[in-house]
Amino acid sequence: MRGDLSRSPLAFREQAMDYQTLKSEPVFEGKVFKVRIDEVATPSGSRMRVDVVEHRGAVAILPIDQEGRLWFVRQYRHPAEGWLLEIPAGTLSSDEDPEDCARRECREEVGMAPGRLELLGAGFMAPGYSTEYIHIYLASELTPSPLPQDEDEDLRVVKLTWQQALEAMGSGEIQDIKTLAALGLAHVRGLADA
């Protein structure tokens, strides 16, 4: 794998110096994100309007226990209008370290504290319109250490073998992109025993 996986998205700004934000207008501020409209001058001299969702960033965690089972959550996702099978994940608090967030989210969502975290990858979730940058971790050496779930979360813990997880990927049962990315990254690194 190339490069430093923990690099901030700000490190890539130098590559976009030919694009200039002329105007930025805030239009919405919610609990999880803000929305703004930017007017941008392009290198060719034209202007474009870009709707931007500002997001603090997130983490996703692929927990694996001592028996080799992967821990998922099945939770209701209103925008998707259904229950999705996904790995534990969460939004960073202001100035929170991604690894600290990953440890907290793993405890909140599946009740297990990781003794070891390994960064599998990091990147933008939807760079066409969002600033959300996600860090994806493999969590191992799990020990029971539950934290209370967020009051608006309805989660069911699901444990799968690697083979079952790969079958869920192939069948389309897993429709959450961060989960597909985590499983793919783990597989590419040879972590899957399938």
Kindly list the structural domains of the chain, giving each domain's residue range(s) and its CATH number in brackets, ordered by start. Answer: 9-55 (no CATH), 58-188 (3.90.79.10)
3 state SS of 190? coil
Mean pLDDT over 157-172 rounds to: 96
Mean pLDDT over 119-131 rounds to: 95
At residue 153 the predicted structure's pLDDT band, cuts being 50, 70 and 90, is confident
pTM over 0.75: yes
At residue 2 the predicted structure's pLDDT band, cuts being 50, 70 and 90, is very low
Note the residue count of the chain.
Answer: 194
Whether 14 is a known active-site residue: answer no
Q: Is the separation of the CB atoms in 154 and 176 below 8 Å?
A: no
Q: Which of 132-136, 148-152, 164-168, 185-189 has the lowest mean pLDDT?
A: 148-152
Mean pLDDT over 29-37 rounds to: 96
Which residues on neighbouring strands pair with residue 27, listed in sequence order? none
Instruction: Considering the candidates 151, 153, 167, 173, report the single residue annotated as catalytic.
Output: 151
